[in-house]
Amino acid sequence: MPCEEGTYLDRPNGKKHCLTCTICDPGSGLKVKQRCSPTSDTVCEALEGFFCTEFTSGSCSSANEHRTCESGQYISRTGSSSSDAECSDCSSGTFSDGSSTSCQPHTQCETLNLQLIKAGTASADAECGEKSSAWVIGVIVAIVFFVICLIILCVCLKKKEKPVLPGCFNSKQCTNQDHQMVSMNEEDLDKNPRASKNSNIKPEPLLAGSSE
């Protein structure tokens, strides 16, 4: 008598009933490789991303998920249906997030004419950015500050050298008045060149008794 659907009998065993077909449970990491028939049981195999840890009569009866590599590691050997994956650490100057089969070299910011913002690690690439001109700005500010201080110093020294005229409170006004006084004196000398000499001659006193 043939076995019903979902049962099988692969060899005569002296029993009057058939055996129940094996179920490949996806929750256990299994899938059907070969369907059950009246004369053979189901053959199971590991799901994608799993590997078989136990076999029974040529069928996988237990499976585990492949190992996941951590950041800073790469997959040195890809897992298969019968073996687990293997991970290795990245060497210095390289990085990986753990999902690739090799580590990638850190970006060299200098070769791209960029500035290094953050150094690379075993799990992350280096971060680059535009070169900063902060030092140029700093130099310009320092020069401007020096020039301003120098101007202030010169102004203070000039104020000390020039006397302030009475009633003069404005430095510009005082300078104009000084210039006008000098110009007037020069004009007087040009008109009367003997004025400067005569101004220094004192009148002689009259002799006593002379009343003419």
85-121 pLDDT, tens digit per residue, is 999 999 999 999 999 999 999 999 999 999 999 999 9
Q: pLDDT digit string (tens) for 117-131?
A: 999 999 999 999 887
pLDDT-flagged residues of the chain (< 50): 169, 182, 195-196, 199-200, 206-212
What is the CATH code of the structural domain delimited by 1-65? 2.10.50.10
**What pLDDT, on the 0 to 100 scale, is given for residue 107?**
96
Can you say whether the dihedral through the CA atoms of 90, 91, 93, 94 is positive or negative? negative
Contacts (Cβ under 8 Å, ≥6 apart) of 93: 105, 106, 120
Q: Measure the N-to-C terminal CA separation of the chain; round to a whole number of Å.
A: 187
Of the candidates 41, 50, 46, which has an alpha carbon nearest to the alpha carbon of residue 3? Answer: 41
How far apart CA 59 and CA 183 sit, in angstroms, is 122
Residue the block writes with tokens 């001659």: 201
Output phi, psi for 108, to 5 deg: -90, 100
Yes or no: is domain 68-152 CATH 2.10.50.10? yes
The one-character DSSP state at 46 is: E
**What pLDDT, on the 0 to 100 scale, is given for residue 157?**
85
Q: Is the pTM of this model over 0.85?
A: no
Q: What is the mean pLDDT of the chain?
A: 81
**What pLDDT, on the 0 to 100 scale, is given for residue 203?**
53
The CATH 2.10.50.10 domain(s) of the chain lie at 1-65, 68-152
